[in-house]
Amino acid sequence: MAAQSCSQFHVFSAEEIEFIAEDELIEIVPNMRMDQLNLIRGDFGPFLPQIATEVPLWLAVALKKRGKCRIRPPEWMSVEKLTQVLEAERDSEKEFQVLPFHYVEISRLLFDHAQDDIPDIYMVRSLMEDIRDVRFHKVETSLETFDGRTSAVQIRSLSAMEVNIVRPFVARALQAFQKLGNMVPETDSVPSTRPQGTDKAARGRRILRGR
């Protein structure tokens, strides 16, 4: 609790995460002819009508706004895939399904700018919401299992936005737990067979992981 300022833990805002997500690649089908683009991160194009090509999301959105292309929604954004994911999320208590790291941001950008390119957009949108809610609820329940011996958390395939939401809270809570945990005299919960140094490290790293 040495650090009382809240802003310190808030590393990214949602907008910044979205900005990072715009670097993800996505497939578009241009309807114009354009030469290759030589960007710092690589070359994209050449763009030929009706020939699909991969570009960063920001470029796709920019072209889409000018009516120069159609965006092909990624494979995981189909109704069947999302229904599967949602069911799997609901079935397993701890485990998170594998979705792209930026799925929240990508889906929002596509919903905003490329509604006409996504088949069954209403269905997809509501599935997306459900998946996000289920996952966030799971994150919360796993945070509830914290006890004083937790000093690191590992949850597999959590997405950027989900991590970002809980980051300030978790960082603070872990700090408080660590401080108060140090106050408690050593109990017999730790097998004292290890040498002193590694013992302390191992005790601190009770890892919370989805199995």
User: Do the beta carbons of residue 86 and residue 138 sit within 8 Å?
Assistant: no
CB of 76 or CB of 136, closer to another protein: 136
Residue 116 beta carbon to another protein: minimum distance, rounded to whole angstroms: 18
Residue 50 beta carbon to another protein: minimum distance, rounded to whole angstroms: 30
Residue 144 beta carbon to another protein: minimum distance, rounded to whole angstroms: 5
CB of 158 or CB of 166, closer to another protein: 166
User: Do the beta carbons of residue 45 and residue 60 sit within 8 Å?
Assistant: no
CB of 12 or CB of 34, closer to another protein: 12
**Strand, coil or helix: what is 57?**
helix
Residue 117 beta carbon to another protein: minimum distance, rounded to whole angstroms: 18
State how far the Cα of 211 lies from the Cα of 96, in Å rounded to an integer: 9
**Strand, coil or helix: what is 44?**
strand
Which residues are near another protein by CB under 8 A?
1-4, 6, 9-10, 13-15, 18, 108, 112, 136, 140, 143-144, 146-148, 161, 164-169, 172-173, 176-177, 179-181, 183-185
CB of 26 or CB of 142, closer to another protein: 142
Residue 101 beta carbon to another protein: minimum distance, rounded to whole angstroms: 16
Residue 87 beta carbon to another protein: minimum distance, rounded to whole angstroms: 24
The string of DSSP letters for 136-179 reads: HHHHHHHHHT--TTB-----TT--HHHHHHHHHHHHHHHHHHHH
CB of 185 or CB of 197, closer to another protein: 185
State how far the Cα of 73 lies from the Cα of 189, in Å rounded to an integer: 51
CB of 98 or CB of 176, closer to another protein: 176
State how far the Cα of 181 lies from the Cα of 175, in Å rounded to an integer: 10
User: Do the beta carbons of residue 29 and residue 62 sit within 8 Å?
Assistant: no
